[in-house]
């Protein structure tokens, strides 16, 4: 879907039928990302949020051995790639205040970190409006649908470049 006023894209739907294709998608998105963007990930448990974060981080040149969904860590930083990444998993957070207490705001407003937030719906109220939202849906054991939507001009520009690539 295109926003007719500025020609930028507000929604993009892509499909993957293997982890390799998910890796390719992560690579493509990584290639057009700029520092300071927030990506809000949603989708059921096991849909592939963490797997996509790993694909994206690999595309940025991060050593992905550390990229996973640990049971007790709410935030991980990866600073060895092209853009520094703050990876949050809010699944076990009690509320937005706890999200703020771990220092999330500092990264969201840094203008420097790429913020990747799993279960983003739980903290949506404090996320920037101009964020890239991604909902992942499992359609078969190895198949996933990735629905991207842009909340403002900056994320729409990224989405347009992803669609072009
Ligand atoms: N095409 C695919 N893309 C992404 N993940 C896939 C795909 N096919 C199978 N998977 C598997 O789906 C699971 C997704 O798990 P995970 O990323 O931890 O989910 P979430 O973080 O959403 O709870 C992983 O075990 C991954 O290997
Ligand atoms: Mg996860």
pTM of the model: 0.95
Q: What is the pLDDT of residues 126-161, one digit of tens each?
A: 999 999 999 999 999 999 999 999 999 999 999 999
Mean of the per-residue pLDDT values of the chain: 93
Distance 153 CA to ligand 2 centre (A): 28
How far apart CA 91 and CA 106 sit, in angstroms, is 20
Which H helix or E strand runs over 11? strand 11-16
Question: Is residue 12 predicted with pLDDT exceeding 90?
Answer: yes
Distance 93 CA to ligand 1 centre (A): 22
Decide: 144 in ligand 1 pocket, CB within 6 A.
yes
Q: What is the pLDDT of residues 43-92, one digit of tens each?
A: 999 999 999 999 999 999 999 998 987 556 789 999 999 999 999 999 98
Supply the pLDDT for residue 71.
58
Ligand 1 closest atom vs CA 136 = 22
CA dihedral (133, 135, 136, 137) in degrees, to 10, reads: -170
Decide: 135 in ligand 1 pocket, CB within 6 A.
no
Above pLDDT 70, what percent of the chain?
Answer: 93
């Amino acid at each position: 879907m295109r926003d007719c006023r500025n020609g930028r894209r507000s929604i993009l739907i892509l499909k993957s039928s293997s982890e390799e294709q998910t890796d390719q998608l992560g690579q493509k998105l990584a290639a057009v990302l700029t520092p300071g963007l927030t990506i809000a990930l949603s989708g059921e448990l096991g849909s592939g949020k963490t797997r996509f974060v790993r694909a994206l981080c690999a595309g940025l040149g991060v050593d992905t051995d550390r990229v996973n969904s640990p049971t007790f860590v709410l935030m991980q930083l990866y600073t060895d790639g092209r853009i520094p990444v703050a990876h949050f998993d809010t699944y076990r957070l009690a509320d937005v205040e706890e999200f703020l207490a771990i220092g999330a705001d500092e990264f969201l407003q840094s203008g420097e970190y790429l913020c990747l937030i799993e279960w983003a719906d739980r903290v949506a109220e404090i996320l920037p409006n101009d964020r890239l939202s991604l909902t992942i849906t499992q359609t078969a054991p190895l198949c996933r649908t990735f629905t991207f939507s842009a909340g403002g001009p900056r994320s729409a520009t990224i989405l347009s470049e992803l669609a072009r690539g």
